[in-house]
């Protein structure tokens, strides 16, 4: 017997019929003798609907009330799923985030989980009850309801798995695993049986929407065995989806490049004609950080005549706010010539742990893009990733070209593997 946490996404919970399917799958595992904690998302589209409702009543809704409203989607889901399970003859009990409680910090709409009081859950499990916990939500020290950021139910699932020391955390979604690229862009994309935790972390941070990045970080920190699978297969299917592995336990050979990721939710901002002296990068980015805007790539040009340009990227939804902070306030304060921006850019990235041991990957990537006439606006690298910023209109082409250039449509063969 093992303890399994199963998280079901919004499409999996999208209608009464879908919820019945989820219940059947949960029941199958329960009847095989496993203990189950189930974490559903809100029904598909529900969180968007709730947030839009809020904005109908106030153009700039208070973050606290937004979380009160947004968290209700999952509350409906847990109750419905408990009923569906009870109707199948199982013992099932639902908990909202605050009922558990899942304690978070106080950052509304992007709260972090600080701890889980899981005693009641353990007792229920010991009695053979299926425990259903609302995803995406928690409560802070002052009893305010918080939410964990869009896609945050993944993190609830992984955090519960970590806290309960579950044998496995299964993330059920509308795709059947992690692919070498988005199959809607690259029809030949292949599903990966395994991906390392580090590659998954890069892919999630690069915009692969399969898992919320915080859930991957959490899984890495607490060594949660994580698996991504489809809830649209037959309830009795033996399909194992994609397992996220830890490199050190990895005895299998690994492809050099695992996937091509993309992200169109990006915007670029350049501060032009900045005096090249100590403190300038801080003067530009500190107010951005204080406004809680995440900065991704950062580039500063080599200076000429004591002047330089400073560019960085932010999430597209925070572009206007970042521009307002810089122009005119910060620009004047640091004596820069101007601030320009572009919110029609996209980031395309190549990810693979083999980059550590193989030279020439980046140059091969740039050559392939050049051959298609795609201009690279920014570049950033880590040990296992190379990312480029390109005009949004070339994004899909860039993804396809790289997928082909690195033969990702073919299963790993000897020469694609590490020696």
Q: Quote the CA–CA distance of 330 and 332 in Å, as a whole number.
A: 5
| 260, 350 contact by CB (below 8 A) | yes
| Helix/strand/coil for 86 | helix
Give me 302's structure tokens. 């080599």
- Pick the piece of the chain touching Mg ion (CB under 5 A) from 1-9, 22-30, 132-140, 196-204: 1-9
Taking the complex as a whole, the smallest distance from the CB of residue 190 to Mg ion amounts, in Å, to 22
Phi and psi for 326 in degrees, rounded to 5? -85, -35
Query: Within a 10 A sphere around the Cβ of 227, how many other Cβ atoms?
Result: 18
**Of positions 101, 135, 138, 151, contacts Mg ion by CB under 5 A:** 151
Q: Quote the CA–CA distance of 385 and 401 in Å, as a whole number.
A: 17
Find residue 339's DSSP bridge partners.
271
**Of positions 12, 35, 47, 173, contacts ligand ASP by CB under 6 A:** 47
**Of positions 136, 197, 319, 394, contacts ligand ASP by CB under 6 A:** 136
Query: Within a 10 A sphere around the Cβ of 77, how many other Cβ atoms?
Result: 29
Taking the complex as a whole, the smallest distance from the CB of residue 405 to ligand ASP amounts, in Å, to 34
152 near ligand ASP, rule: CB under 6 A: yes
Give me 234's structure tokens. 């037959």
Sheet with 168-173, side-by-side order of all strands? 92-95, 130-133, 35-40, 3-8, 168-173, 226-230, 242-245, 194-196
Residue 154, CA distances (Å) to 168, 172, 204, 400, 412 in order: 13, 10, 12, 28, 29
Contacts with ligand ASP, 60-79, as mask; x by CB under 6 A: -------------x------
Closest CB to Mg ion among 9 and 14? 9
Q: How many residues bind ligand ASP (CB under 6 A)?
A: 12
Spacing of C-alpha 64 from chain mean position: 23
Q: Quote the CA–CA distance of 277 and 282 in Å, as a whole number.
A: 11
- Pick the piece of the chain touching Mg ion (CB under 5 A) from 5-13, 45-53, 112-120, 253-261: 5-13
Rounded to 10 deg, the angle between the 153-164 and 213-222 helix axes is 10
8 near ligand ASP, rule: CB under 6 A: no
Closest CB to Mg ion among 213 and 336? 213
341 near ligand ASP, rule: CB under 6 A: no
Closest CB to Mg ion among 10 and 138? 10
Closest CB to ligand ASP among 137 and 308? 137
Q: Quote the CA–CA distance of 147 and 150 in Å, as a whole number.
A: 8
Taking the complex as a whole, the smallest distance from the CB of residue 265 to ligand ASP amounts, in Å, to 14
Taking the complex as a whole, the smallest distance from the CB of residue 163 to ligand ASP amounts, in Å, to 18
138 near ligand ASP, rule: CB under 6 A: no
Contacts with Mg ion, 9-38, as mask; x by CB under 5 A: x-----------------------------
Closest CB to ligand ASP among 155 and 196? 155
157 near ligand ASP, rule: CB under 6 A: no
Taking the complex as a whole, the smallest distance from the CB of residue 318 to ligand ASP amounts, in Å, to 17
Query: Which residues of the chain form contacts with ligand ASP (CB under 6 A)?
Result: 10, 41-42, 47, 73, 135-136, 150-154
Which residues make up the interface to Mg ion (CB under 5 A)?
9, 151
């Amino acid at each position: 017997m093992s303890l399994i946490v199963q998280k079901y996404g919004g499409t999996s919970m999208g209608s009464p019929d879908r919820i019945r399917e989820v219940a059947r799958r949960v029941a199958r595992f329960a009847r095989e003798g496993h203990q189950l904690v189930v974490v559903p998302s809100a029904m598909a589209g529900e969180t968007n609907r709730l947030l839009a409702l809020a904005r109908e009543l106030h153009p700039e809704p208070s973050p606290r009330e937004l979380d009160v409203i947004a968290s209700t989607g999952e509350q409906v889901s847990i109750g419905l799923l408990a009923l569906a399970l009870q109707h199948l003859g199982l013992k099932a009990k639902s908990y909202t985030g605050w009922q558990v409680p899942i304690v978070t910090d106080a950052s509304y709409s992007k709260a972090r989980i600080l701890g889980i009081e899981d005693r009641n859950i353990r007792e229920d499990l010991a009695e053979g009850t299926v425990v259903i916990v609302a995803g995406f939500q928690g409560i802070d020290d002052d009893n305010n309801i918080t939410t964990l950021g869009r896609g945050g139910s993944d993190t609830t699932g992984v955090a519960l798995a970590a806290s309960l020391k579950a044998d496995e955390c299964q993330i059920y979604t509308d795709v059947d695993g992690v692919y070498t690229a988005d199959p809607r862009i690259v029809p030949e994309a292949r599903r990966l049986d395994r991906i390392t935790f580090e590659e998954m972390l890069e892919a999630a941070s690069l915009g692969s929407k399969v898992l919320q990045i915080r859930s991957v970080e959490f899984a890495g920190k607490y060594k949660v065995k994580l698996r991504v699978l489809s809830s649209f297969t037959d309830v009795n299917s033996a399909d194992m989806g994609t397992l996220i592995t830890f490199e050190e336990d990895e005895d299998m050979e690994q492809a050099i490049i695992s996937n091509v990721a993309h992200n169109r939710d990006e915007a670029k901002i350049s501060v032009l004609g900045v005096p090249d002296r100590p403190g300038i990068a801080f003067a530009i980015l500190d107010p951005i950080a204080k406004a809680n805007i995440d900065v991704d790539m950062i580039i500063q040009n080599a200076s000429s005549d004591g002047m330089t340009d400073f560019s960085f990227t932010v999430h597209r939804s925070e572009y206007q706010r970042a521009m307002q902070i810089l122009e005119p306030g910060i620009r004047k304060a640091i004596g820069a010539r101007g601030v320009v921006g572009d919110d029609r850019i996209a980031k395309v990235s190549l990810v693979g742990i083999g980059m550590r041991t193989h030279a020439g990957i980046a140059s091969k990537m740039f050559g392939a893009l050049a051959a298609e006439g795609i201009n690279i606006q920014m570049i950033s690298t880590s040990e296992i990733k190379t990312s480029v910023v390109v005009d949004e209109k070339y994004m899909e082409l860039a993804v396809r070209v790289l997928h082909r250039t690195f033969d990702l449509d073919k299963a790993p063969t000897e020469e694609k593997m590490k020696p």
